[in-house]
Amino acid sequence: MYNHNEYSSAYLCIITSLIKIVEKMPYKWYNYSGNTGLCFLMYVLISPKGRLLPTVHKMNGDPFEIEEKASALLDEEISQALNKLKEEIEQEKRAKKAAPSGSKGHRGRVKERFLASGFDGFAEHEVLELLLFYAIPYKDTKQTAYELLKKFGNIAGVFNASVSDLTQISGITENAAILFKMIPPLIGIYYTENQQGMMYTNTSELAAMFRPYFVGAGSNLFMMACFDRNLRMIGVSRISDERGGASSIIMRSVMTEALKGGCRMAAIAHNHPGASPKPSEEDIAVTRRIGDLLNAIDVKLMDHIIIGSSKTYSMRDGGELGIFD
C-alpha cells in the first residue's frame, strides 16, 4: 500500500500543474473532437493506467525531492501529450486538403458549379447563398438567402437595400451587408477598366456603356465619358452624386474632366431613379450649358443619355433643341 500522506505534496503539484495547463491550452486543442484532448491529458496524468501516478508511487526519498521529480515528469508528459494532439490536428488538416473534390461538402459543390458555368442554372437564392459563403463562414446560408429575397423581392432589391435594413435580417452581419453594397459600384469599375480603348459610334452603344454605372443607384448620379478623336473611350468619371441631380452639376468638374489626357469628344449621362427617362426642361437647359462650355475648349458633346428604371433615352436621337447639331 502507498502512503497517501507521504506523497500528498507530489499529488498536489500534479493537480495544480494540470489545472494551470488546462487553463493555458489552446482552445482548438481543448475542444478538439469534443474535448478528447482534455480527456487524453486527464488519462495520461490522472488515470491509474496512465504512466505518471504509478511512477510517482514508485518514487522513494524525501517528499520535496519527490515533488521536484513529479513536476519534471509532469512537464514531460504534458509536452508529449500536447505534441501528440498537435500532430493529430495537423494530420486531419492534411487529410482535408488531400480529400477528393467529391468530399468538399455543399459549399464546395456550389463553388464548383459556379467555376464550371458561372451563374447559369442558379436560382436567385443560390446566388445570394454563394455570396454569403464569403461573409458568413461555417454556417448554413441558404435560409438567410431566402429571408433576404422574401424581404427585398429580388437580388437587385438586396443590393439596393441599405446596410441598416440588411442587418435586420437574421444572420446578416455588417460584413455581409457591406459585401452586397460593394457589388454595384464594382460593376462600374469593371466596365470602366474593361472598356477603355473601345470605340463607340452610336447612341445604343453609349447607352449600353453607361447603364452599368447606375446599377443599384437609388438617387441621382451624373456621369461623363471622354473619348479621343477616333471615338475610343479614355475613361468615365462621376460628376455628381446623391447630393444633387442634373440641375446641380458643377460645370468646373465637367471642364476638369474634359481637359484631361486628350479628350476630344464627350458624352454625359444621368439617371431618373424609378421614373421615365424623358428629359425635363432643366435637363435640356443643363445639357445646353455643358455643350457650350465644351465647345469653348474644342471638345464636342456627343450625346446626353438618360437612364430610366427600364429604358434609356438619347437626347441626340430625341432632337432636343438641336443641341448636338
- Distance CA(228)–CA(262), nearest Å, equals 6
Q: How many domains does the chain have?
A: 3
Last residue of a domain, one of 120, 155, 186: 186
The mean pLDDT value of the chain amounts to: 75
Orientation of helix 105-117 relative to helix 124-133, angle to 10°: 110
Based on the fold, state whether residues 202 and 182 are members of the same structural domain. no
**Cell digits of residue 167:** 442587418
Look-up of cell digits 476630344: 264
Last residue of a domain, one of 98, 114, 145: 98
Based on the fold, state whether residues 86 and 49 are members of the same structural domain. yes
Based on the fold, state whether residues 163 and 278 are members of the same structural domain. no
- Distance CA(254)–CA(223), nearest Å, equals 9
CATH code of the domain covering residue 243: 3.40.140.10
Residues 6+ apart with CB under 8 A from 215: 159, 184, 187, 188
Give residue-wise pLDDT tens across range 131-147: 999 888 878 889 999 99
Q: How many helices (H) and strands (E) does the chain have?
A: 15, 5
Kindly report the backbone phi and psi dihedral angles of residue 240, in degrees, each rounded to the nearest multiple of 5, phi listed first.
Answer: -145, 160
Q: Is residue 307 part of a domain?
A: yes
Q: Percentage of the chain surpassing pLDDT 70? A: 64
The pTM of this model reads 0.50
Based on the fold, state whether residues 125 and 72 are members of the same structural domain. no
Considering only residues 36 and 302, tell me which one the structure prediction assigns the higher pLDDT: 302
CATH code of the domain covering residue 123: 1.10.150
Q: Is residue 21 part of a domain?
A: yes
Q: Is residue 316 part of a domain?
A: yes
209: containing domain: 197-322
What's the CA angle centered on 8, arms 7 and 9, to 5 degrees? 90
- Distance CA(89)–CA(72), nearest Å, equals 26
Give residue-wise pLDDT tens across range 162-201: 899 999 998 898 999 999 988 888 877 777 676 666 677 7
Look-up of cell digits 452603344: 205
